[in-house]
Amino acid sequence: MTSDMTSTFETPGLFLRGVRAAYAGSIRRFGAGRRWRARPTVLDDGRAEALAQALAERDAQLAEALARCERLESQVRSRDASLALLAHELRGPTDVIIGWSRLLRGGSTQESERARAMATIERNAVAQSVLVDDLVEASLVVAQKLSIRRERTDVGELARSAVDAVRAAAEQRAVTLSCVAPSGLMVPGDRARLAQVLSSLLSNALKHTPGGGSIELRCSLHGGHGGRRVVLELSDTGVGIPAAELRHLFEYRRHDHAPSRRSSGLGLGLFLAQQLVELHGGTLSVRSAGRGAGATFVVSLPAQAG
């Protein structure tokens, strides 16, 4: 039995003896065999132009669909990497707590060893609590549900308190810590959130500044076309930041990029610090001359009017 089927397709941009043309083709079945025939047909300019536009739109849609697929694949890889890293971050303190708890349960530890065990368990439990709190706040930031309570706040006072809070840790690490923060630098901000920003930046600087190094926090009032701003500059003589990592430093899940001491972990502390500063209408930036050259973090906040 013989069947005949004809289908037409058109190819704009193809010319036959100087005339824009398309091809019409037919497929004829002969049992198990097929025979293909095609003949050129002339297209008028209007029809050819419409066909060319339709093909261009199809190509654009295909390119967009491919780009969406690539973004989704990247998000899935990033999610999986984040979960793996989160598990690693939680496993460390958990293993320590379990190990020391089992040792205490044995009942054969001396009093000094018991005190050490309790202190270690508490320290790691606090570390886990901080990580969980940061994860909750990061989820609120991503969902745009994190709010701040604005009130008249003395940034100089906050800076001095934040420095005093880490002074003992700095002395233990043999790091020189100094603060130049005059009183009266007022901003309309959330006192607790701004204190959280300073604590995060100071902890980051202390973590990456070796013994014998120094950390300095300076606060000042600047004026300009954009209005008066209170500026805090935190400089350290630590490990520095390679140029390739500067633009990724405040990103959540920084593990996707080249690893270094400053870009390890989930990146929650600096990510939250920048988001909190921006909620106050300010900016948080960083500059560094490279590895081994230290770094300077700059917080700029709108000053209190009046």
**Per-residue pLDDT at 156 exceeds 50:** yes
Looking at the DSSP bridge assignments, the partners of residue 261 are: none
pLDDT of residue 124: 82
CA dihedral 102→105→109→112, nearest 10 degrees, is 80
pLDDT of residue 231: 93
Encoding tokens for residue 18?
């100087």
- Whether 99 contacts 67, CB under 8 Å: no
CA distance 288 to 294: 6
Tokens 């009032």 belong to: 221
Alpha helices of the chain — where are they, by DSSP H? 45-105, 111-142, 155-172, 191-207, 243-246, 268-279
- 138 vs 53, 69, 124, 133, 205, CA distance in Å? 45, 26, 21, 9, 21
pLDDT of residue 35: 57
**Nearest-5° Cα angle at 33, 27 to 38:** 25
CA distance 193 to 1: 82
**Per-residue pLDDT at 304 exceeds 90:** no
pLDDT of residue 251: 74
What is the pTM (predicted TM-score) of this model?
A: 0.61
**Per-residue pLDDT at 216 exceeds 90:** yes
Interacting residues of 163 by C-beta distance below 8 A, sequence separation 6+: 177, 179, 181, 202, 217
Could you read off the pLDDT of 128-154 as tens digits, one per residue?
787 777 777 777 777 777 778 889 999
Q: Stretch 23-50: mean pLDDT, rounded?
A: 57
Task: Tell me the HSE value of 67 on the side-chain side, using a 13 A CA sphere.
Answer: 6
As a whole number of Å, the end-to-end CA separation of the chain is 95
**Per-residue pLDDT at 102 exceeds 90:** no
Please, what is the average pLDDT of the chain? 77
- Give the whole-number percent of the chain exceeding pLDDT 90: 19
Residue with more model confidence, 91 or 295: 295
* pLDDT tier for residue 104 given thresholds of 50, 70 and 90: confident
Could you read off the pLDDT of 242-263 as tens digits, one per residue?
887 877 788 765 444 333 444 4
**Per-residue pLDDT at 239 exceeds 70:** yes
pLDDT of residue 157: 92
Encoding tokens for residue 294?
């230290």
CA distance 306 to 290: 41
Looking at the DSSP bridge assignments, the partners of residue 2 are: 30
CA distance 229 to 283: 11
CA distance 150 to 140: 18
Encoding tokens for residue 291?
């590895």
CA distance 69 to 63: 10
In terms of Cα–Cα distance, which of 168, 196, 217 is closest to 269?
196
* Positive or negative torsion for Cα 106, 121, 125, 83: negative
